[in-house]
Structure 1
Amino acid sequence: MRPTLTLIAASTLLLATACTTTPLPPQTIGQCNAEPASWAIGRAPDQNLIDDVLRDTGSRDVRVLEPGMAATMDYRADRVNIDVNDRGAITGIRCG
């Protein structure tokens, strides 16, 4: 009679775990990936280029950072930063 009780308990446990759901991974919509926009380095950041960088990186927000410009230090996964030198050419594209 003992093996039957063990079998019932194991079956009940198996059914209980089969009914639970696992959480879905967080969505990455709007999360920045700077690599696809590396083509823009060396160019001037006009509005069309900025729009293309925003699209290519998958970001929701963009900011163009010039030398000496004040900027917050908070990291945002949905923002792309376009670093520009004093001649107006893009020197880097990075997330944050």
Structure 2
Amino acid sequence: MPWKYASSGLVLVAALLAGCSTTSESSKPAESSAATELGHSRCDAAAAQFAVGKPATPALLEQARVKAGAQTARVLGPNDMITMEYRSDRLNLNTDQAATVNRVNCG
């Protein structure tokens, strides 16, 4: 009886360890294609630089988001409290007191 439990325990451990193994070459393309399928992509702030100097409007925010390839976008005022986590798929339009865009960045 104890051998039955010991052998089934060894099989279980072997199965768990096999599930944790990875291959370095084959997993990278799968990760990038999975990220693309889910819609997560990196933001390109350079593509949205056209917004600098313009008044921040919802239409400008959406146009900049699309051109930058970002999933989300937000307008940040000079005194706004913001979260500090970095998200490579988010576009930020930073504005001055007059709500004019003075900086475009991702994060």
- Using the size of structure 1 for normalisation, the TM-score is 0.72
Show structure 1 runs of 4+ deviating over 4 A: none
Other-structure match for 2:73 = 62
Which structure dedicates a bigger proportion of its chain to helix?
A: 2
Aligned residues: 76
CA shift, 1:30, in A, is 2.6
CA shift, 1:67, in A, is 0.8
For the pair 1:93 / 2:104, whether they are aligned, the reply is: yes
For the pair 1:22 / 2:33, whether they are aligned, the reply is: no
Superposed, 1:1-96 pairs within 5 Å as: 22-23=26-27, 24=29, 26=32, 27=35, 29-96=40-107
Point out the structure with max Rg over C-alpha.
1
Structure 1: runs of 5 or more not aligned: 1-20
What per-residue deviation string (whole Å, max 9, x for no partner) do you get for residues 34-86 of structure 1?
00110110000111111100101100111110011100000001101110000
- Using the size of structure 2 for normalisation, the TM-score is 0.65
CA shift, 1:22, in A, is 2.3
Q: Relative contact order (alpha carbons < 8 A, sep ≥ 6): 1 or 2 greater?
A: 1
Aligned counterparts of 1:63 and 1:47: Cα–Cα separation in 2: 9
